[in-house]
Amino acid sequence: HGGEVVNPLAWFRALERLLPANAVLVGDGGDFVACGAYTLRPRGPLSWLDPGVFGTLGVGGGFAVGAAAVCPAKQVWIIWGDGSSGYSLAEYDTYVRHKMPVLSVIGNDACWAQIARDQKEILKDEVGCTLSFTDYHVVAKGYGGQGLLCTKNSDIDEVIEKAQSIHHSGGCACINAHIGITDFRKGSISM
């Protein structure tokens, strides 16, 4: 990558500050989502949806469809890891066709980070864990949604506010946040 990246904790602190009181958060991923779980405050009952202890990746897109259908006045956010987004990013087609103003952020560190951390330490190899800094925001555009790219901490607020503006106008948006690898969760037991 070689460029500037976003600190995932800075990202979530900003999102926490800018989220409305009625937001619904959908977590679908590993390390990035777990950082969000430590940082974000659910807004009320049934306002944090995730796959539970079994970590069934790929549920985020469908959970967001359900949340947007049941709570059309609420701001629905999917928090995706870059690996897990591949399982349901195509739901942007559903959001557009059914006029569901879902917002998402993909924490893109080009890595299955939660797996790689232990695999590198234990097996001395990251085989199968390396991804690319894919243009996920362009993929969302291909389905008719809006796509935003965030590559530095100084742009976080502006990008979140732009996504919220798209939501308020009835559109859906996907933010591709190029994040740095962090040791914040090193030593955590993922269950």
**Average pLDDT for runs of 10 along the chain of length 191:** 84 98 94 88 94 83 98 96 92 98 94 66 71 91 98 97 98 95 58 42
Provide CB contacts within 8 A for 93, sequence distance 6+: 143, 144
User: Structure tokens of 129?
Assistant: 């864990």
Point out which residues pair with 24 in neighbouring strands. 76
Task: For the chain, give the longest Cα–Cα distance.
Answer: 49
Dihedral sign computed on CA atoms, order 25, 27, 28, 31: positive
For residue 158, the model assigns a pLDDT of 98
> CA 189, CA 141: separation in Å to the nearest integer?
36
pLDDT at position 118 is 67
> For residues 8 and 180, is the Cβ–Cβ distance under 8 A?
yes
Bridge partners, residue 76, by sequence: 24
pLDDT tens digits for 69-118? Answer: 999 999 999 999 998 899 999 999 999 999 999 999 999 987 766 665 66
| pTM of the predicted structure, to 2 decimals | 0.90
